[in-house]
Amino acid sequence: MASIPESRIHGFNQKEWNPEGDFVLYWMVAARRSRWNFALDRAIEQAQRLQKPLVIFEALRCGYDWASDRHHRFVMDGMVDQAKAFAQTPATYVAYVEREHGEGRGLLEALSQRSCGVITDLFPAFFLPRMLRAVAPRLAVPLEAIDSNGLLPLRAADRVFTTAYSFRRFLHKTLSPFLLEWPSSSPWEGVTLPRLQSFPAEIRKKWPVFVGAEFVGDAVDISRLPIDHRVSAVKETQGGEQAAQQQMQGFLKFRLRRYAEERNEPEEEVASGFSPYLHFGHLSTHEVFSKIVEREGWEPHRLGKPTGQRGGWWGMSEVAEAFLDELVTWREIGFNMAFLDEHYEEYASLPGWAQETLEQHRSDPRSWEYTLKQFEQAQTHDPLWNAAQVQLVQEGKIHNYLRMLWGKKILEWSKSPEDALAVMIELNNKYALDGRDPNSYSGIFWVLGRYDRAWGPERPIFGKVRYMSSENTARKVQVKDYIARYTP
């Protein structure tokens, strides 16, 4: 197994590896998968170097914002898959679902005290960066966070990009060497490691952890956890690596060829549906990319000259390029922002031109003005908007094209742009399975002008921010059946 690239390793403290520890600990917080994972590769590498067992610890707290049956179920589906997958390896998988607020406090420290060092995942959004910064000084051993987020290591860019064009141009100039550095698709090949003889009994006594293959579907009763039970699990969208694999096979086989032309049609399910799996780390961008490479029979020498244009650089078919522009350019520009700008969630992070024009139109009369509750309950005058909101509440997603319209109308029907931002963040992160991601903020802030330019003619409320209307949308794409399907 090859060493993982330095560009992926972020040291969070200056502690020394403890060769006397009982095991190497991989604290899995974002790349929740058993393959295609630089952090897992790094953890295996360290365990081999020290000839120690590897313990993989995946925990789910209950006190994070918007914790609900929906997100918990999705993550726990993944934990069931992990328990099965790691049972086939020399590693010891340990799953933990917190049953009451604060119950898990001290568990990571207790595990780390017995370890040689801790490897974890780097994820640039939500509470995770804060959590790692808080934990690092408390540990007596090293904490290394590994970046498995995208094709471009987060560290490879030292500035934030304001347009997709400028980021794409940067990618065209910078990405090619990183396309040769992949996490392992079969990380255990040729690896021998000592196994953990027994899991520390005093830890088991204090915290109800599940060791090895113990974590099964009904191991934890979600209905008893102190989380929001009104946001129910989405039965049709199962979480986990296996479901992610099925989603990927279906997309590559049946939908990718229609992607470039039909992705915007709300009545067609042509898009990949990968975003929740990418968000929770059940699926890796590298794996998806490798499948596209295989399908296209692609080789790096086909890369073109840097242009910043959407198509043509990869030297692949039109559909593959259209898809990669979303998966790589649009997905990773959001990770870049969240990683480098700690204010990425704040209104003040909008480009100056957008703040200025929204300010000039702050007092414009609104024909309709709704509260968070009215939005949440899909009680607007607009059937198409209501349908999108119903889809979000029921299925944890909104069709991509309508998601843009959904946001634009919240801006138009809110008292102020700041209120609109708060409503979008609340509804998106509460209901969307892919919420609380760097891309949640890319999408929401795009509605208000991020990554966009000024547009004319200047309009009420929006000023120069790009405008969208339900009428135009209905003219451009088929929505009749969509509205009928999601009538509140």
The answer to whether residue 68 forms part of the interface with ligand FAD (CB under 6 A) is no
* Phi/psi at 396 (5° precision): 75, 20
The span of 15-23, 220-228, 299-307, 443-451 binding ligand FAD (CB under 6 A) equals: 443-451
- CB of residue 403 vs ligand FAD: minimum separation in angstroms? 4
Q: Cβ closer to ligand FAD: 207 or 441?
A: 441
The answer to whether residue 54 forms part of the interface with ligand FAD (CB under 6 A) is no
Count of residues of this chain found to bind ligand FAD when the rule CB under 6 A is applied: 30
Paired tokens of 161: 């990009």
Among 278, 320, 427, 479, binds ligand FAD (CB under 6 A): 278
User: Rounded distance, CA 468 to CA 97, Å?
Assistant: 42
Among 447, 448, 465, 483, binds ligand FAD (CB under 6 A): 447
Closest residue to ligand FAD: CB criterion = 443
Centre a 10 Å sphere on the Cβ of residue 83 and count the other Cβ atoms it contains: 21
Q: Cβ closer to ligand FAD: 21 or 124?
A: 124
The span of 105-113, 157-165, 398-406, 480-488 binding ligand FAD (CB under 6 A) equals: 398-406
**In this structure, are residues 193 and 186 in contact, taking their beta carbons and an 8 Å threshold?**
no
The answer to whether residue 404 forms part of the interface with ligand FAD (CB under 6 A) is yes
CA distances to 205, 294, 324, 362 from 290, rounded to whole Å, are: 43, 6, 12, 47
The answer to whether residue 389 forms part of the interface with ligand FAD (CB under 6 A) is no
- Residues numbered 182 to 201 that lie near ligand FAD (CB under 6 A) are none
- CB of residue 174 vs ligand FAD: minimum separation in angstroms? 19
The answer to whether residue 437 forms part of the interface with ligand FAD (CB under 6 A) is yes
Centre a 10 Å sphere on the Cβ of residue 149 and count the other Cβ atoms it contains: 28
User: Rounded distance, CA 149 to CA 218, Å?
Assistant: 30
Among 112, 272, 389, 391, binds ligand FAD (CB under 6 A): 272
Q: Cβ closer to ligand FAD: 9 or 424?
A: 424
- CB of residue 96 vs ligand FAD: minimum separation in angstroms? 26
The answer to whether residue 124 forms part of the interface with ligand FAD (CB under 6 A) is no
Q: Cβ closer to ligand FAD: 34 or 442?
A: 442
- CB of residue 162 vs ligand FAD: minimum separation in angstroms? 15
The span of 329-337, 342-350, 355-363, 387-395 binding ligand FAD (CB under 6 A) equals: 329-337
- Residues numbered 279 to 318 that lie near ligand FAD (CB under 6 A) are 279
The answer to whether residue 263 forms part of the interface with ligand FAD (CB under 6 A) is yes
The span of 70-78, 101-109, 142-150, 325-333 binding ligand FAD (CB under 6 A) equals: 325-333
Among 53, 150, 407, 417, binds ligand FAD (CB under 6 A): 407
The span of 171-179, 345-353, 402-410, 462-470 binding ligand FAD (CB under 6 A) equals: 402-410
Residues that bind ligand FAD (CB under 6 A): 263, 271-275, 278-279, 326-327, 330-331, 334, 400, 403-404, 407, 424, 428, 432, 434-435, 437, 439-440, 442-444, 446-447
